[in-house]
Structure 1
Amino acid sequence: MAKSFLNGLFSLILGQAEDKARSVSEEYLTTGRQGRSTTLKIRHSVETILEKHRYAKIGKTVQPAKRFQATDYREYQTMYLVYKTSSDAFICHYESYFIKAFAQRLDNKHENSTGRLAQINGMNYLYVVVAD
C-alpha cells in the first residue's frame, strides 16, 4: 500500500515538473490581415522553428496554455505562437495553408484540425509545437 502511494506521489511530482519545463513562447508572434506580407512573416517564423527541431505540429487555438496541457501534446516541449487574429476565416486559412506547405516536415495527420472552432470570443492563435 505504501509503495503504491509513493509511486503515485513520485509520478505526480515528475508530471508537475515536466509541465513546468514546457513553455508557450511568443518569440515569433505576428499579427495582420491575411495577405502576402503576413504570409511571408509567418512562413519565415515556421521555417526558423523547423530548422531547430525534428518533430513539429501546426494547429490553431483560442487558449494556447490550456491546449498545450492536453494529453495529446505531452511529447512536445514548446509551443511557439506564430500568428494572432480575431478572424476565424484568417486562422482557418493559415492553418490549412501552412500544414500543406510543410506537410513533409510535420507530425500533422490532416490538412486541417479535426476539431471545430472554439466558441470563445477573442483572439485565435496559430501555433507550432515542437519536440526534439
Structure 2
Amino acid sequence: MSKKTQEIRSIFQELGSLQKRIENLKSQAPELEEKNSREIDEISFNLAQNLTKLEFWFNSLYAYNGKSKSVAKKLSSRQNGKKGGRPPKKITLLRQRKTELEEKILPSLEHELKFTDSSLRLEQLPEEIKNAGLELQKIIQELEN
C-alpha cells in the first residue's frame, strides 16, 4: 500500500471519528455548555482541515490518470494558447502561496487565537495574523498587476 493511500485511509478514519463526536454532541444539544460549544467549533475546524488534506491527496494520487489525448484536452490546450499559454513560474508560486495563506495559515492562526490558553502566545498571534494578512494583500496586488 502506498504512502498516499495510507494517508487517505487515515484521513477517512479521522473524519469518521469526528463525525461520531459531532453526532454525540448534537444529541446533547438542549444542554450545550460553553465547553461543548468550543468543542463543536474545534471539531468543525478539524473537519475542514482534513477535507482540505483529503482533496490534496486525491488530486495528487490520481494526477496521472487521464494522460491520454482527447478532444477535450486539445480544445483546452488551444484555449490556453489563446490566453498566452502557461503562466510564468513566479505567478504559479504566488498563486500557490495565496492559496496556502487563505486556506491553511490564516484559518489555523485564527483558530489558535480563539482556543489558546497561553498568554505569551496570545500576545504573538495577532502580530502573526497581521503579517500573514499583509503578505496576502501584497500577493494579491502582485497578481493583479
Q: What is the TM-score of this pair, normalised by structure 1?
A: 0.26
Structure with greater proportional strand content: 1
Structure with greater proportional helix content: 2
Per chain length, whose mean CA-contact separation is higher, i.e. which structure has more relative contact order (CA < 8 Å, sep 6+)?
A: 1
Q: What is the TM-score of this pair, normalised by structure 2?
A: 0.25
Higher alpha-carbon Rg = 2
